[in-house]
Amino acid sequence: MLDDTVQTVPARTAAAPGHRAAGVVVRPGDVAGLGTVLGVWAHPDDEAYLSGGLMAIAREAGSRVVCVTATRGELGTPDPVAWPPDRLGAARTVELARCLDVLGVREHHWLGYHDGECSSVPAEEAVARVADLVGRIAPDTVLTFGPDGITGHPDHQVVAAWAAAAFDRAAPSGARLLQAAVPARRAPRWSDVSARLGVYQPGYPVTVPDEQLAVDLVLPPETAARKVRALAAQATQTAGIMAAMGIDGYTAWVGEEAFVERPGAAVMTGRGARR
Ligand SMILES: [Zn+2]
């Protein structure tokens, strides 16, 4: 679905193969151009896995970065006896704070919804709350999931819809809505790992050709290491995977971040064309 719709974006179809359109973030130095960044995510660890490096680079560049998390991820365990929801939600609250501290992100908001139940939240209520944050923060760039939700998790897909609706309602003129993506070139390398770890639901990830990416960051080693430290702070989610993969393998696995421009958006082309 993402593949089909992404091809309607003018800047991406206009880019010649192997060449990137203006406004595409491919180097750390490009990140400052994203301006104030607001991330809208479903569970603690979504923000770090999908944008931890980008957030750290943005903060180092002096940009404002704000993170919103819909749920405390209280169901995120294979062992709910040892980790009942109240205990896990409390632990993940502390873990996320530590993670964001490692990344230099000082502003975070919880929406306070229940893990796995985002689709039961009245959309208007959630959209109004996210739109209120968008209106107050006035981000230049909103980062969130695409309609696929990256992994296919229903909460991710619902949050993607909330973020897009809130963006349409309240984002400043010229702001960009960027949706997390998996570059096609990465999928083969990591498909065995992803399958073993059960990262994706069947049929996922939906992958995107390189030339359609709006952000295509290979993190510098020091940024990748910092991202790993941030993820390590969310030990309930990451300790087992890190141990299984080894630190070098894990660092390589999380060492790239990619986003597409929201399909249908008119993006910067160097002629000043905006949304
Ligand atoms: Zn998640």
What's the CA-to-centroid distance between 111 and ligand 1, angstroms? 14
**Exposed / middle / buried, residue 253 (Cβ in 10 Å: 0-12, 13-18, 19+):** buried
* CA proximity to 221, closest of 253, 183, 251, 250: 251
CA of 46 to the centre of ligand 1 (A): 5
- Rounded to 5 degrees, φ, ψ at 23 are 90, -5
**Residue-range domains of the chain with CATH:** 34-258 (3.40.50.10320)
Cβ partners under 8 Å of residue 23, min gap 6 = 11, 33, 214, 267, 268, 269, 270
Q: How confident is the model at residue 157 (pLDDT cuts 50, 70, 90)?
A: very high
Q: Which residues contact 205 (CB under 8 A, 6 or more apart)?
A: 148, 150, 151, 182, 187, 194
* 272 C-alpha to ligand 1 centroid (Å): 35
Residues 219-262 have pLDDT tens digits of 999 999 999 999 999 999 999 999 999 999 999 999 999 999 99
38-47, 97-106, 192-201, 223-232: least confident range? 192-201
Give the whole-angstrom CA distance, residue 44 versus residue 84. 16
**Surrounding residues of ion ligand 1, Cβ less than 5 A:** 42-43, 46
Confidence band for 31, pLDDT divided at 50, 70 and 90: very high
Query: Helix 85-103 to helix 46-60 angle, to the nearest 10 degrees?
Result: 20
Containing H/E element for 237? helix 235-245
Ligand 1 center to residue 41 CA distance, Å?
Answer: 7
pLDDT value for 252: 96
pLDDT tens digits, one per residue of 159-196: 999 999 999 999 999 999 999 999 999 888 888 888 88
- Say whether pLDDT at 6 is over 50: no
Q: CA-to-CA distance for 269 and 271, rounded, in angstroms? A: 5
The three-point CA angle 118-122-124 to 5° equals: 115
- Tokens, residue 266: 């008119």
Going from the Cα of 154 to the center of ligand 1, the distance in angstroms, rounded, reads 9
- CA–centroid distance, 77 to ligand 1, in Å, is 12
Q: Give the model's pLDDT for residue 15.
A: 44
d(CA 73, CA 75): 6
